[in-house]
Structure 1
Amino acid sequence: MAVLFIDNPPVNAGSRTVREGLLAALAAAAADPAIAAVVIMGDGRSFISGSDLKEFDLPLAEPQLPAVIRAIEDCPKPVVAALHGAALGGGFELALGCDARIAAPTTVVGLPEASLGMIPGAGGTQRLPRLIGIARAIDLVCSGRRVAAEEALRDGMIDQVATGDLRAAATALALGLAGRKSRVIERAVPNDGADEGAAAAAALKAGRNRPHIAAAIRHVRAARSVPAAQALADERADFQGLRVSPEAKAIRHLFFAEREAARGGGLNKVPARPLARFGVVGAGTMGAGIALAAIQAGLRVVLVEQDPAALQRGVATIKAQIARRVESGRLTEADAAATNARLATALDLQALADCDLIVEGVVEDLAFKTAVFRALDGIAKPGAILSSNTSYLDLDAIAATTDRPQDVIGLHFFSPAHVMRLLEVVRGKDSAEDALATGLALANRLGKQPVVAGNWFGFIGNRLYAAYRRHCEFMLEEGALPQEVDKALEAFGFAMGPFAVTDLSGLDIAWRMRQQQASTRDPAARYVTIPDRLCEMGRLGRKTGAGYYSYADGPGHGTHDPEVEAVILAASADAGRTRHAFTAEEIIRRALLALANEAALALADGAAMTADDIDVVLVNGYGFPRWAGGPVHWARNEDPGRLIRDCDALVTLAGPGTRRGDLSLLLTPPSVRARG
């Protein structure tokens, strides 16, 4: 036996040196008459977790992965892949090139290239359908989903799950194959009767019709009709083009930005405080969502609500969500029972006395929140972290009502809290480093993407979104209509346009905030009255059947309403605006300039630690298209001279009350930008 160990810590990424080593070792094994079979396995914690993404912005160094896989298939001796940890992307493609695959029980396999704006480029679209069929391969390739070992065994993606020592089991499997080869690429695609057209349509819809998704479907389907050699060459050619496309570069930018954001500027190296018992104040939509996220992550939770009826509704919501997971097959009955058992409830804050971290999810009112924190200050044990889920309020003002401001942080969840990936961990002026580190640890435990934000109005996300929405309202006053703005920005890639989002969340939320700020607002600042007028008419969004759109046919069916157009025309006239038509391109650029300008201001003020953090927030929390990379990435790829001129024009149009950001703060290349 020849057992080849891949040793490229920390995750055995498939680099040039790994490929060179594999080729040399395979050649030596093939030439040695004493060797009957070969096993390839990873050293350390993983098989091959994927390719080194840093290589993808450059010409790929030889030897490339297809050459290694050809060497495996050309080797006269059987080659077995022994998988553990992660076998993803190029790592799983390497395994598909082997004669057999055996995995440890905790292994995950998959082809995640589509989530990076690419397609598999070393035979994944050709070998996988020969094992599992066209429809299933379309689903897995286009979704990029990771598949656990037992599911992979059922599907035929692997041949065995090792119950004992992986090396011994792989050696036995390889010796059993001695003297014969079993090349996946030579197999016929099984005809399992699955609806390939439906699978393709579902993948295109889920993938927002992006070019790389369409390419992946085309190549998977070619496995049945195109000769293997030609299909492999076609796949590689498309892969080479897609990996250097603007979309793939934007997604890789986010990959590295998210990884850095999760480190919190070094906070990940600070020892976190214990986190076993979790408290939530408030059983409304947000509080119930936070509690659900926590119990699903294995935390014991105490949910406190002063109103018995509200508490009952919150618990019912949580149990209904868990029941849906059982119905969909994502959770077993036993796991559901264990999840529900981790939730305790109470009507008195005293029940939180033993909690390690408490988050309040009560109404967005400073007096109410400070009252809650004063009470918690006298109840929580020493060292317990008190966190606020506030979206806009001053965290330092909340912390000042306690005798432990060092233990107070912000944890800004996004609704629905058990679904949305983003979590802003907000640093107050007195927040202790280990308290913030615990916020990062909690995000990791909950499967969230954390971003550390400074204590500025709206933190990062709501601050930028408010500027974006404000400039979209300016366009309404100047000549655009809500449906025109929404259509243009959804065509750019936003999940929803700003006015559709406002109708969904409710116009009254921002209205209350504007009313609270009225006394401190600069009288000279440009102020659009359109949303106030709609609120005064009772048009508060979907919940009232009317907002920027009419919902006579149900909450999910907004239609253009002439009454809204009349309100907009009247507001324009009262403001002395001469209306003009907007093209979709003008709408998109105006909105993106607004985001870029506010991003520069947020970075200068300290609301964001790094420019890249802003992209992470906008993509993960506000529907900015992942394939566009975020507003900072967009700005970096614009012509600098035009960007500056257009930003100057934007600020002029906005008038008094709008500051000009220093765009140079955004444009510094990430490779040389200092991090906190």
Structure 2
Amino acid sequence: MSEVVKLAMVKRCAVITIDSPPVNALSAAVRGGVLDSVNAANADGTVEVIVIACAGRTFIAGADITEFGKPPQHPRLSDVIAGIEASAKPVIAAIHGTALGGGLELALGCHFRVAVKDAKLGLPEVKLGLVPGAGGTQRLPRAVGPELAVRMIVSGEPIGAAEALERGLVDEIVDSTTSGAVAFAEKVVAERRPLRLLRTDDSKLVAARADRSLFTAAAASATKKSRGLIAPLACADAVSWALDLPFEEALDKERECFLKLLSDDQSKAQRYAFFAEREAAKLRGVPDGTQPRPVERVAIVGAGTMGSGIAMAFANAGIPVTLIDTGAEQLDRGLGMMRKNWDATAARSGIAADEPAKRMALIDGKVGLEHVADADLVIEAVFETMAVKKQVFTAIDAHAKPGALLATNTSYLDINEIAAVTKRPQDVVGMHFFSPANIMKLCEIVRADQTAPDVLLTATTLARRIRKTAVVVGVCHGFVGNRMLAVRGWQGESLLRSGALPEQVDAVMTRFGLPMGPFAMGDLAGLDIGWRSRQDRGIRWDIADAICESGRLGQKTQKGYYRYEPGSRAPLPDPEVERLIEQTCERLGLRRRAIDDEEILERMIYPMINEGARILEENIAARPSDIDVIWLYGYGWPIHRGGPMFYADQVGLKTIVERLEFFAQRLNDPALRPTPLLARLASEGGSFASMNRAPAVG
């Protein structure tokens, strides 16, 4: 029927096959091809039943979001689904891989659905700041019940084929997609099964209509972590329309809601983040045809919190790990920590009950650096001082096999200096994981001066293999994320000097959308970490250091910027901290004043943006969107604000430059003056987005 949709006959079954790599997205060509094929099959008197299947690795994995914001192209997905529902002959969706978003909505329009056992089905539109826009909020509640539907749609998380079968979303699990669907189709015809139209089947809505609390509780649970996002609440509302409104009226409201969210700044930011993450995977300076090195076993040096977390990340992906430390006690502690974490995950049904044992079987604990010899990748995760790193890398270099990647997990240190102690600096790369490494999504891949292109490609490929978002950065103190974090940290100190209190700054930042304020986060991590780092570099932050010198090191001592009740992590404002701040300012001759929330937000965010521009000037990051990805997935930047560089464009670069110049003068802080790049973009009416669109260069 078209280049991307084919129609073939298997006995008296018309098989419509979508073949539009890589994920069979619902482009206009696919939509038109499917609708034409369904109509053609209905017009063919030899056809008794229709199967919709997909070639390649997946069923339809969603809409073609490159069409968002552009003039609509016909047919709309809702028209295709209406055509399927109107078919006089049974239409069966044959699902493998993932049926997501518009793909699942199309399948819900079919009369029957079959799936292979490892298929996943879901409606993830909420992750783009949207509601499903082609009937998903109305048909899914009728397929699985409104309680499960609201959970799936608000979270955006898919369910597996087994649960889909149990809850009525699919009718049968098949061994192979097309042949299994054809066999099921023959049964449908032979048994003369009536066509099931979800639009007219309200049987699974009856209980929730009779007792609304069932749905209300499910919706409240699903939306409780929305944190300023409007789409999850809109999704819950849309599902509720299935209980309250006639189908067609609810369908119209769903579409109206979809279009409203589509034009909203939150959805624009979330769609930007979606594309930014994919753009980060495009490496600059790696010649075409470069192949990654094979990695079958990883060695991790250091069995502390970070090393153990990294080992868990690899074992979670099924990759064997040798976990190495210099002493049996430290090694046993690390192995025990891993087992405890996996057992806890299994206890709350996050993984199967037998998974902890399976994953622990992939971890081989060893004492002594000579045990790196069999590894294809060695990751160092030891104490964050240059002397220790050099000592460890000298030993790794002596024992690691030729061609092995040698990676450091350093958060700040000069990787060129670390690489220089080896005889193979071309094999050295940074892999900066974020704590807890088994959970946090980001991995900064640090390209040193002599890092070979295939080493860089291998590190990024492997990071994605263990389900991390990899962003390539250059060498400087703190790379991208921590370098900008240090700027924000100093601004927090500066605000305390000016007159703010920790609880006021934290309240502003959490209202902005961060999961924790910077001072509460410092208490959680331990204030001694930053204190020790400042001492190593000969830097003094008078208020922060005075707090540490008074024995307030954070939650570990039950007092830091806040105080903590025994056994509690809830930060409580402490008058003693206010006294320490006032005494320090008095000693320094500083006069404090009332600070409003707008000034706090500007002073915490705008200097970070300025530092991001400086990072771009120095080619430490390839593109502004890479900086945004780092902050989204490593530091809890709110997804609906797109990242600091995206946010800068939303505010307006001219405004940011004007405010930075004002604060630089008022605070007598030259570091706040706008960078040349930021000043130039502002004066030209430019944007960071324009830099994202610039062609890639090596």
1:328-359: per-residue Cα shift (whole Å, max 9, x none)? 23333443322111111111111111111111
Distance 2:452 2:123 in 1: 41
Distance 2:165 2:401 in 1: 49
Q: 2:195 aligns with which of 170, 181, 184?
A: 181
In 1, are the aligned partners of 2:653 and 2:687 still within 8 Å (CA)?
A: no
C-alpha deviation, 1:426, in angstroms: 0.6
C-alpha deviation, 1:649, in angstroms: 2.4
Q: 2:63 aligns with which of 48, 51, 54?
A: 51
State yes or no: 1:457 paired with 2:477: yes
Q: 1:163-242 residue pairs with structure 2 within 5 A?
A: 163-164=175-176, 165-173=179-187, 175-176=189-190, 180-190=194-204, 191=206, 195-242=214-261
Q: 1:593 aligns with which of 580, 602, 606?
A: 606
- Partner of 1:41, secondary structure, is strand
In 2, are the aligned partners of 1:77 and 1:180 still within 8 Å (CA)?
A: no
State TM-score, norm by structure 1. Answer: 0.95
User: Structure 1 residues 179 and 161, CA, compared in 2 at 3 Å: closer, same or farther?
Assistant: closer
Residue 524 of structure 1: aligned partner: none
In 1, are the aligned partners of 2:117 and 2:175 still within 8 Å (CA)?
A: yes
State yes or no: 1:418 paired with 2:431: no
State yes or no: 1:669 paired with 2:693: no
Residue 161 of structure 1: aligned partner: 173
| Matched residue type, 2:652 | D
- Partner of 1:383, secondary structure, is coil
| Matched residue type, 1:182 | R
In 2, are the aligned partners of 1:121 and 1:236 still within 8 Å (CA)?
A: yes
Residue 355 of structure 2: aligned partner: 335
**RMSD (Å), alpha carbons:** 2.0
Indicate the percent of aligned positions where both proteins have the same amino acid. 41
Distance 2:36 2:191 in 1: 22
Distance 1:607 1:329 in 2: 41
Q: 1:412-561 residue pairs with structure 2 within 5 A?
A: 412-518=432-538, 528-561=541-574
- Partner of 1:265, secondary structure, is coil
- Partner of 2:269, secondary structure, is helix
User: Structure 1 residues 65 and 450, CA, compared in 2 at 3 Å: closer, same or farther?
Assistant: same
1:302-348: per-residue Cα shift (whole Å, max 9, x none)? 11111222111111001111212322233334433221111111111
| Matched residue type, 1:446 | I
Of residues 562-571 and 476-485 in structure 1, the stretch that sits farther from structure 2 once superposed is 562-571
In 2, are the aligned partners of 1:36 and 1:178 still within 8 Å (CA)?
A: no
Residue 108 of structure 1: aligned partner: 120
State yes or no: 1:634 paired with 2:647: yes
- Partner of 2:299, secondary structure, is strand
C-alpha deviation, 1:20, in angstroms: 1.8
In 2, are the aligned partners of 1:474 and 1:654 still within 8 Å (CA)?
A: no
Q: 2:263 aligns with which of 233, 244, 251?
A: 244
1:102-142: per-residue Cα shift (whole Å, max 9, x none)? 11223221100011111111111111111111111111001
Distance 1:400 1:674 in 2: 33
C-alpha deviation, 1:160, in angstroms: 1.1
| Matched residue type, 1:199 | A
Residue 620 of structure 1: aligned partner: 633
Structure 1 unaligned segments of length 5 or more: list them: 522-526
Distance 1:5 1:85 in 2: 15
State yes or no: 1:655 paired with 2:674: no
State yes or no: 1:265 paired with 2:265: no
Distance 2:109 2:439 in 1: 37
How many residue pairs were aligned? 669
C-alpha deviation, 1:528, in angstroms: 4.1
- Partner of 2:417, secondary structure, is helix
C-alpha deviation, 1:668, in angstroms: 4.4
Residue 407 of structure 1: aligned partner: 427
| Matched residue type, 2:259 | Q
In 1, are the aligned partners of 2:646 and 2:689 still within 8 Å (CA)?
A: no
State yes or no: 1:275 paired with 2:292: no
Residue 345 of structure 1: aligned partner: 365
1:431-461: per-residue Cα shift (whole Å, max 9, x none)? 1111111111221121101011101110111
User: Structure 1 residues 384 and 659, CA, compared in 2 at 3 Å: closer, same or farther?
Assistant: farther
Q: 1:89-168 residue pairs with structure 2 within 5 A?
A: 89-164=101-176, 165-168=179-182
Distance 1:128 1:280 in 2: 45
Residue 294 of structure 1: aligned partner: 314
Distance 1:179 1:365 in 2: 71
User: Structure 1 residues 639 and 177, CA, compared in 2 at 3 Å: closer, same or farther?
Assistant: farther
Of residues 396-405 and 647-656 in structure 1, the stretch that sits farther from structure 2 once superposed is 647-656
State yes or no: 1:312 paired with 2:324: no
| Matched residue type, 2:20 | N
| Matched residue type, 2:149 | A
C-alpha deviation, 1:644, in angstroms: 2.1
In 1, are the aligned partners of 2:657 and 2:674 still within 8 Å (CA)?
A: no
Residue 17 of structure 1: aligned partner: 29
Residue 7 of structure 2: aligned partner: none
| Matched residue type, 1:270 | T
In 2, are the aligned partners of 1:142 and 1:207 still within 8 Å (CA)?
A: no
User: Structure 1 residues 510 and 603, CA, compared in 2 at 3 Å: closer, same or farther?
Assistant: same
C-alpha deviation, 1:282, in angstroms: 1.0
Distance 1:269 1:541 in 2: 50
Of residues 6-15 and 27-36 in structure 1, the stretch that sits farther from structure 2 once superposed is 27-36
In 2, are the aligned partners of 1:78 and 1:178 still within 8 Å (CA)?
A: no
State TM-score, norm by structure 2. Answer: 0.92
1:455-486: per-residue Cα shift (whole Å, max 9, x none)? 11101110111111211221111111110110
In 1, are the aligned partners of 2:624 and 2:689 still within 8 Å (CA)?
A: no
User: Structure 1 residues 292 and 361, CA, compared in 2 at 3 Å: closer, same or farther?
Assistant: same
